[in-house]
Amino acid sequence: MTDTSAPQAPNNGQSGSTPAGLRVLGQYVKDLSFENPGHPPVQTQPNIDLGIDVGATPHADGNGLYEVSLKLSAKAAADGTVLFITELDYAGLFQISNVPQNQLEALLLIECPRLLFPFARRIVAEITREGGFPPLLIDPVDFVQLYQQQYRRAQEAAANGQPPTQEA
């Protein structure tokens, strides 16, 4: 007689527990803007001011659904002239299951943006190229470090009795 059942995953000493789950249900552009106030010929390398912000909110439907938003902004200037300003709010809808509450925030603000970042990076590169500039290729982001900075700022703000800020 042959056993046709699926192989069982190792239990690792956890009886009756189901593994943590993270599913990407959708990704979308919430807001995108590109301003090209003037396009003078530029012979020098422009200075680029880059901003990154991450946020997460529970979805109204519940069931472990969260919307995670990755906001990228860039302003390029050379010789005192603003060349372009672009802002992207790129979001994803994630379903999270069986994650301990004390690990949920880190998962939402580190792993989810890490999954969204390559797509948002591509959109910023394309929009700057379509605006007549070389594509802006954003370097990889260390979302762990970004999360730790936001966490420290929130703790300092709470100690001083001020509301926390979240922008990087």
Each residue of 98-147: pLDDT tens digit?
A: 999 899 999 999 999 999 999 999 999 999 999 988 899 999 999 999 99
Of the chain, the percentage scoring pLDDT greater than 70 comes to 84
Q: pTM of whole model > 0.75?
A: yes
Q: Is residue 25 part of a domain?
A: yes
CB 84 within 8 A of CB 76: yes
Each residue of 32-66: pLDDT tens digit?
A: 999 998 776 667 788 999 999 999 999 988 789 99
Domain count, the chain: 1
Q: Is residue 146 part of a domain?
A: yes
Q: Is residue 49 part of a domain?
A: yes
> Which CATH number do you get for residue 44?
3.10.420.10
3-state secondary structure of 123: helix
Q: Is residue 168 part of a domain?
A: no
3-state secondary structure of 17: coil
Q: What DSSP state is assigned to residue 83?
A: E
Query: What domain range is 60 assigned to?
Result: 21-159
Q: Is residue 8 part of a domain?
A: no
The better pLDDT of the pair 74, 63 is held by 74
Burial 84-116 (b: 16+ CB within 10 A, else e): bbbbbbbbbbbebeebeeeeeeebbbbbbbbbb
